[in-house]
Structure 1
């Protein structure tokens, strides 16, 4: 009887341990996927936004007039958007990343506030709200090598401490290859799709009453 009870207990605890291990493994896989998905969204939006503001396209000019911002504000935004995109996607640079995330969140939260102040509907401020949420998610999910030492999760700090004092991995030159390649591709896509973007946003601006047909 005791042997049967012991065996049953071992099966139960073994099953529970396996379930916990699977749960941890799933979280370990989901976290980086969610991080890179949200990071890709905000980096692409920052790059596309910098291109749209640099030109600037009709949509940008109409929106600035509608919100009461000066024309040159588009060029200021373009510069900061490009810098933030580079800082966020690049390896290392944890302190610069903190400021880039703050700037990105300030950009989109200010857009939401600006549209709300002038009485715009969800159709206009819903999009920057989503991008702001993605920025928060990307910031919260960023891995250890993209965090300041003081802000690392305890689990990640323990992992670093267990590497015989090696500390966080160094950022090697080849680690920049993928981010640089991605930036080039995203900028190319943004420029190549500019005519289509102008045509699409022209219809939006007319529909919203920001410009006359």
Structure 2
């Protein structure tokens, strides 16, 4: 019977990759959840155009926006390992669902490529998260510093989302014209 040995260099390399991959992918998906919530709750033109193109009711924007706020908060906040599982699952269903409906509509990669990328980033963030953000054996209490960092990051992400909204609206309007979803 042979014993399994783990090369310490491989373990170190894996930990270095994880220590970069988790914060990078988590920041990106949290930013997209925050920006998406702003877009949905303020009902920018792009959201209305996309919902109409895909045949969804306008009210779906408010539902998605509210859930995106919750998912961003839970994913960034320390603790809440069970809620994190749900938040990651919701993000996965949101973005993978967007891929599927765009494919069903016959839209090209310019429509489903970005949600596919977000789906992959959500899976990487979920998979590489530290042990204290996972369900088994997760500690109940978290240091105040982690809460402060999570809250500050949310404030910054929302500020950036609101500040960039006018430029985003112009860009997405032109994108909708280029995709042939609207004329103008």
Describe the superposition over 1:9-60 as per-residue Cα deviations: whole angstroms up to 9, x where unpaired. Answer: xxxxxxxxxxx43332222222121011111111000000000111111111
3-state SS in 2 of match to 1:148? coil
Which whole-Å CA distance do the structure 2 matches of 1:168 and 1:97 have between them?
14
Describe the superposition over 1:139-182 as per-residue Cα deviations: whole angstroms up to 9, x where unpaired. Answer: 111110010117xxxxxxxxxxxxxxxx8483123320000000
Q: 1:22 is matched with which residue? A: 9
Q: 2:69 is matched with which residue? A: 82
CA RMSD of aligned residues (A): 1.7
Matched, 1:99 2:86: yes
Describe the superposition over 1:57-87 as per-residue Cα deviations: whole angstroms up to 9, x where unpaired. Answer: 1111000000000111101110000100000
Which whole-Å CA distance do the structure 2 matches of 1:196 and 1:73 have between them?
24
Which whole-Å CA distance do the structure 2 matches of 1:96 and 1:170 have between them?
15
Which whole-Å CA distance do the structure 1 matches of 2:31 and 2:100 have between them?
22
Q: 1:5 is matched with which residue? A: none
Contact 2:79–2:139 (Cα < 8 Å) also in 1 = no
Which whole-Å CA distance do the structure 2 matches of 1:86 and 1:185 have between them?
13
Which whole-Å CA distance do the structure 2 matches of 1:25 and 1:125 have between them?
36
Contact 1:84–1:100 (Cα < 8 Å) also in 2 = yes
Q: 1:32 aligns with which of 19, 25, 32?
A: 19
The structure that has the greater radius of gyration is 1
Gaps of 5+ in 2: 1-6
Give TM-score scaled by structure 2 length: 0.93
Give TM-score scaled by structure 1 length: 0.80
Cα distance, 1:119 vs structure 2: 0.9
3-state SS in 2 of match to 1:210? coil
Which whole-Å CA distance do the structure 2 matches of 1:105 and 1:201 have between them?
23
Contact 2:79–2:140 (Cα < 8 Å) also in 1 = no
Q: 2:56 is matched with which residue? A: 69
3-state SS in 1 of match to 2:182? coil
Q: How many residues align?
A: 180
Gaps of 5+ in 1: 1-19, 151-166
